[in-house]
């Protein structure tokens, strides 16, 4: 028996990185997973690998309301219901606050904050109609503190935590639990763009990232997307049945403070 047997869960940004690992783990635990992304080729390949009984790919720009409605309709048509959502999709831009163009700031908000809002607003009624379920929002370490050069990103992740708490209060009467994962640095293309650069030396890039987080993180390394997926599974399954409205930091101890050793 899997921990998510009988569940139907939409995972956004699921074609690669953290979302891909969440989709894989959820399917292994018995869920039927709706892989939602704008990376059509990768998303379709993942769905095909997992099998049509376990996975469906849908194109979804999380900042577009009409695409959310279409994704939910496709999920219900394929699997009959929706009783789980992982709002994982997000983008990161590095820029000094006073140098950040308004367009760039708004782009990050559209995906990270409005995408999360639209996901909850669209999917929560379906989860309620299914008898209850869970929503897991992907916030960030930076949603609980500050970090230079990621002002737009940090602002949206603070907002995601606020939305999570409000949603938890409002949706509890419909038997819907809402929590947030707050990753620190995780070894994905978003954190390490060199993974997507065909001209980059992957070994050198990996070594540079490893050296950086060896110094910054008490546990001495960058996080793995599979580790975040395991936390999302916990918050989606019955093991967390009495938990709602909470942020869960998974950062190797980074937020704990500064070590002088």
Of the ranges 70-84, 86-100, 156-170, 194-208, which one carries the lowest mean pLDDT score?
194-208
63 within domain boundaries: yes
Residues 41 and 156 in one domain: yes
Range of the domain at 204: 187-222
2 within domain boundaries: no
Residues 179 and 191 in one domain: no
Residues 23 and 140 in one domain: yes
> If you average pLDDT over residues 182-186, what whole number do you get?
95
Residues 27 and 73 in one domain: yes
Residues 107 and 118 in one domain: yes
Residues 160 and 209 in one domain: no
Instruction: Assign 215 a pLDDT band (cuts: 50, 70, 90).
Output: confident
89 within domain boundaries: yes
Residues 105 and 214 in one domain: no
Residues 48 and 169 in one domain: yes
> If you average pLDDT over residues 186-191, what whole number do you get?
85
Instruction: Assign 195 a pLDDT band (cuts: 50, 70, 90).
Output: low
The predicted pLDDT at position 17 comes to 96
The predicted pLDDT at position 237 comes to 98
100 within domain boundaries: yes
Residues 153 and 204 in one domain: no
155 within domain boundaries: yes
Residues 230 and 137 in one domain: yes
State the pTM of this model.
0.94
65 within domain boundaries: yes
The predicted pLDDT at position 193 comes to 59
Q: Could you tell me the CATH number of the domain that includes residue 16?
A: 3.40.50.720
The predicted pLDDT at position 6 comes to 97
Residues 37 and 55 in one domain: yes
Residues 131 and 16 in one domain: yes
The predicted pLDDT at position 261 comes to 66
Q: Indicate the number of domains in the chain.
A: 2
| Residues with a known catalytic role | 153
Cβ contact 185:223 at 8 Å: yes
């Amino acid at each position: 028996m899997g921990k998510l047997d009988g569940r139907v869960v939409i995972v956004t940004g699921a074609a690669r990185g953290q979302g891909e690992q969440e989709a894989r783990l959820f399917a292994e635990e018995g869920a039927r997973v709706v892989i939602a992304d704008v990376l059509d080729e990768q998303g379709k390949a993942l769905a095909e690998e997992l099998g049509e009984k376990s996975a469906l790919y849908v194109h979804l720009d999380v900042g577009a309301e009409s695409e959310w409605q279409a994704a939910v309709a496709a999920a219900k048509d394929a699997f009959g219901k929706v009783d789980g959502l992982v709002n994982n999709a997000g983008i990161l831009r590095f820029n000094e606050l006073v140098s950040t163009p308004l367009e760039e700031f708004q782009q990050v908000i559209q995906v990270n904050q409005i995408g999360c809002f639209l996901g909850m607003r669209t999917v929560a009624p379906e989860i309620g109609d299914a008898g209850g379920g869970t929503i897991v929002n992907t916030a960030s370490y930076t949603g609980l503190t500050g970090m230079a050069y990621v002002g737009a990103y940090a602002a949206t992740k603070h907002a995601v935590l606020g939305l999570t708490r409000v949603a938890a209060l409002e949706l509890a009467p419909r038997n819907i639990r809402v929590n947030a994962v707050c990753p620190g640095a995780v070894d994905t293309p978003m954190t390490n763009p060199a993974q997507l650069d065909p001209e980059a030396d992957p070994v050198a890039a990996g070594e540079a990232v490893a050296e950086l987080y060896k110094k910054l993180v008490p546990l001495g390394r960058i996080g793995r997307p599979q580790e975040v997926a395991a936390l999302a599974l916990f918050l989606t399954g019955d093991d967390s049945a009495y938990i709602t409205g909470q942020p869960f930091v998974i950062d190797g101890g980074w937020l704990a403070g500064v070590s002088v050793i």
